[in-house]
């Protein structure tokens, strides 16, 4: 590929990333502000009642989900430009889902499943990125234009095994995706009756993912044992299963 084509390709990727960043900022501001402004306690200048307090807690949890989950994602768009259209499309879908998450705070039964969908889309984004730019995950594959299924599998296997030359990012995202999917299953039809506890378990996953995936902690994330990470996720899921399944749903 000549220098002119490469420069044009990079410019297109930068424009796509800029559009996604702007849309994300608008989605967060519109989703959060519009939802907050509709709450009676805000309109009346009074303290929130129990139901509105629960909705506010969900709204704050959704805002933290957007901020904590998106930080590493924004950095990834800079490190791994949006050359492919499908990755760009996944980002656009994520923006609207985050806006839905913020605006759906009045429906707490949607929160965990929406977070599960968001993390599943993160996994799709990772797979597409590894396929397109595998050398940024495994320098030994420098020069490979498009990764094969086997090479993508090896990146995930290397991340789970803790191989030094392989980026742990995709494996970390997959691990926390498993947490949110299983948490949504465990709390299914019970989250509404235990809203605050649901938010606590959601925040455990969001903060855990943020600590693991934040750019400033990448080296420490790589050094942490994947076995320890799985153990923490397992303990949290067992605690969630005990709480949601043994306590009454109403």
What is the tens place of the pLDDT at every residue in 72-94? 777 788 888 888 899 999 999 99
Q: Other C-beta atoms within 10 Å of 170: how many?
A: 23
Q: What is the pTM of this model?
A: 0.89
Q: Other C-beta atoms within 10 Å of 150: how many?
A: 7
**Cα–Cα distance list, 146 to 46, 53, 141, 211, 246 (Å):** 58, 50, 10, 30, 49
**Cα–Cα distance list, 26 to 71, 158, 242 (Å):** 16, 37, 39
Q: How confident is the model at residue 46 (pLDDT cuts 50, 70, 90)?
A: confident
> For the chain, what are the domain ranges?
3-246
Q: How far is CA 73 from the centre of its chain?
A: 8
Q: Other C-beta atoms within 10 Å of 99: how many?
A: 23
Tens of pLDDT along 103-158? 888 777 789 999 999 999 999 999 999 999 998 899 888 888 888 999 999 999 99
The pLDDT of residue 2 is above 80: no
pLDDT at 215: 54
What angle in degrees, to the nearest 10, is found between the helix axes of 3-37 and 85-103?
Answer: 10
The answer to whether the CB of 66 falls within 8 A of the CB of 28 is yes
């Amino acid at each position: 590929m000549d220098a002119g084509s490469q420069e044009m390709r990079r410019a297109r990727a930068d424009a796509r990333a800029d559009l996604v960043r702007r849309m994300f900022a608008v989605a967060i501001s519109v989703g959060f502000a519009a939802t907050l402004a509709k709450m009676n306690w805000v309109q009346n200048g009074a303290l929130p009642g129990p139901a509105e307090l629960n909705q506010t807690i969900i709204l704050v949890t959704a805002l933290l989900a957007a901020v904590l989950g998106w930080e590493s994602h924004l950095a990834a768009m800079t490190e791994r430009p949006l050359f492919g259209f499908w990755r760009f499309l996944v980002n656009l879908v994520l923006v609207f889902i985050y806006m839905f998450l913020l605006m759906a705070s009045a429906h707490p039964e949607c929160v965990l499943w929406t977070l599960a969908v968001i993390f599943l889309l993160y996994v799709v984004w990772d797979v597409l990125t590894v396929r397109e730019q595998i050398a940024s995950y495994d320098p030994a594959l420098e020069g490979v234009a498009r990764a094969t299924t086997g090479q993508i599998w090896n990146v995930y296997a290397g991340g789970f095994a803790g191989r030094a030359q392989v980026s742990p990012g995709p494996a970390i995202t997959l691990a926390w995706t498993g947490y949110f999917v299983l948490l949504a299953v465990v709390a299914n039809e019970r989250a509404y009756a235990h809203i605050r506890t649901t938010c606590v378990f959601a925040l455990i996953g969001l903060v855990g993912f943020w600590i693991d995936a934040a750019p400033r902690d990448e080296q420490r994330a790589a050094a942490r044992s994947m076995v320890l990470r799985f153990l923490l996720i397992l303990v949290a899921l067992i605690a969630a299963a005990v709480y949601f399944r043994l306590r009454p749903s109403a």
